[in-house]
Amino acid sequence: MTWRMALVGATGWLGRSIGPSLLRHGVVRAGMLTCVSRSGASPLYDAWPGVRWRSEVGPAEVVILSVRPQQFREADFDCSGALVLSLMAGVSCAEIAERTGARVVVRTMPNAAVEIERSYSPWFCPQVLGDQDRARVTAILTAIGTTDELAREADLDVITALSGAGPAWPALLAAALYEAGKAGGLSAEVAGHAAEAVVCAASDLLAGRVAQAGALVQEFIDYRGTTAAAMLAARAGGFDAAIAAGVAAGTAKARDLSS
């Protein structure tokens, strides 16, 4: 790609993975990438010595904002004429456009799986993107995983609480299974291996089939075996309701950030 890109927050939690991924996949050439970071150059970019390091955005066709909302609101980013791709929760397209002077604003919500290039990063834009802008957004987001276009900006608040949490939801389940295994008399090592087998291995069987997950649970329940007893007890204990409450609370928090 021959267009100029600026990555603001290039050494932060997401930026330190996104930048190298874009370079590895040829989405942007090293000489066309400006990394904006308060902490200076990072060794994570040493394989691309042509990358430029600055303390401000500078000229660019595409600007990726990978900073915290409060940092964005405290700083002054001049993105006049650029396509801005924001990774921030709770900062609307309208606010970003007003504060940056961007030509067009796209919001997305990646998660920590950018580290392994398996993030789900759906995006929203309040206007119809031209072919070139759409191609650029697609190239960036598919370099770090998968993506979808969202119909409403409010959907990003739900995404923030759901897939935006990254490994947090699996970690919550893994921790509960681990403790339950130890409570049942397993050693810490065996309980850890058992929980990992469920959360990290068996879950691969659901890839591409999550819409049918409810039916799969019902199959286990209908079999009326040990797994059915476990599933029914978990549901009776409020498992489904607790997950729904958690997603709702996370969504509400994301919406609070924009107020």
Q: Is the pLDDT of residue 236 over 80?
A: yes
Tell which residue, 62, 63, 16, has the closest CA to residue 37: 16
* pLDDT one-digit tens code per residue, 108-144: 999 999 999 999 999 999 999 999 999 999 999 999 9
Both tokens of 2, joined, read 């021959």
Both tokens of 205, joined, read 């069987």
Tell which residue, 101, 89, 220, 59, has the closest CA to residue 162: 89
Question: What pLDDT is attached to residue 79?
Answer: 97
Tell which residue, 206, 58, 14, has the closest CA to residue 22: 14
**pTM surpassing 0.85?**
yes
Both tokens of 208, joined, read 């591409």
Q: Is the pLDDT of residue 259 over 80?
A: no
Instruction: List Cα–Cα distances, 199 to 62, 141, 206, 238, in angstroms.
Output: 37, 26, 11, 20
Q: Which domains does the chain have, with CATH numbers?
A: 5-159 (3.40.50.720), 167-258 (1.10.3730)
Question: What pLDDT is attached to residue 2?
Answer: 74
Mean pLDDT in residue range 235-254 = 97
47-56: which pairs have CB atoms within 8 A and are 24 or more residues apart? 47/20, 47/23, 48/20, 48/23, 51/19, 51/23, 53/10
* pLDDT one-digit tens code per residue, 168-203: 999 999 999 999 999 999 999 999 999 999 999 999
* pLDDT one-digit tens code per residue, 25-66: 999 999 999 999 988 999 999 999 999 999 999 899 999 999
* pLDDT one-digit tens code per residue, 57-112: 989 999 999 999 999 999 999 999 999 999 999 999 999 999 999 999 999 999 99
Q: Is the pLDDT of residue 258 over 90?
A: no
Query: If you compute the radius of gyration of the chain from its CA atoms, what whole number of angstroms results?
Result: 21
Q: Is the pLDDT of residue 1 over 70?
A: no
Confidence of residue 235 (pLDDT cuts 50, 70, 90): very high
Q: Is the pLDDT of residue 214 over 80?
A: yes
